[in-house]
Each structure stands twice: as structure tokens, then as C-alpha cells.
Amino acid sequence: MFLSQLNFGDSSSFGTLAYLEVASDGDLYVRTHKGLTWDVQNLYPVYRNPYGKWISVRYEVQSTAAADGTLKVYIDDKLMVDEVRQTLPSPQGVNYLRVGIYNAFLTQATESYAQQVVYYDGIKGR
């Protein structure tokens, strides 16, 4: 279950730099990808059993098609992710944040999902 996606895109490509993910073990992770692919780069552990907690998440991105961009993710004001990397597919590309529950591979589920509720507050961008 993904709770937020930090995406990139331009007129010919789309992808995700980082996800806030509740994995199959029930723990919360930040997942990043290799370059601008869908291959997992890192899975950063955030919380075991994150249920019933307010968690502050801050994404900081230096948006660039060059290799010297940055991706930083802070969880409860602690730096969890600090990667130097390309963050855009082209100079015309953009980065943007999606929030909300997203269940990947829903059609492959062998049983129905239990109710899922996430609250968001104080979302802002610059």
C-alpha cells in the first residue's frame, strides 16, 4: 500500500522517485528507485507498526535532469533519505507529489482488502 508518491514526468515519460509504503510486513518504508527506472534502489525502514500514529513527512527535491540533483526525505524531522541523483527525465520535466492510498496489483490479491484509512493534514508545496 502506497501512501504518497513523489513523481517525475515530461511529455514522453512518467515515473516515481520515491514512495511512502506500508509493505506486506506491515511496516512503513520509504522506497526509492534506481535512476528513472521502476527498479528498487533502497528500502529505508521508517516505523514498525505505524498504525495509529501521526507521522510528519517532508520531501525536498532539487529538480534537475543532471546527475547532481538531490532527493531528501525527512520523517518526523529526521533525515531518512539523502540521495544525489537525476530527478527529472529532461529539462522540461516536472516533479510532483501524489497523496492518497494506492494499492498496486489489486487484481492479483487473493483475498479482499480490509478497510484502509489514512489522514493527511498540513500539505503544502513550494
- Reported as a pLDDT band with limits 50, 70 and 90, residue 121 is confident
What pLDDT score does 103 carry? 75
Neighbours of 122 (CB within 10 A): 5
Nearby residues of 11 by Cβ (< 8 Å), 6 or more positions away = 92
The pTM (predicted TM-score) of the whole model is: 0.87
The CATH code belonging to domain 2-108 is: 2.60.120
pLDDT digits (tens, 9 = 90+) for 13-65: 999 999 999 988 889 999 999 999 999 999 999 999 898 899 999 999 999 99
**Residue 56 exposed, middle or buried by CB count within 10 Å (0-12, 13-18, 19+):** exposed
Which three cell numbers mark 64?
A: 534537475
Amino acid at 104: A
- Reported as a pLDDT band with limits 50, 70 and 90, residue 68 is very high
DSSP 8-state class, residue 89 = S
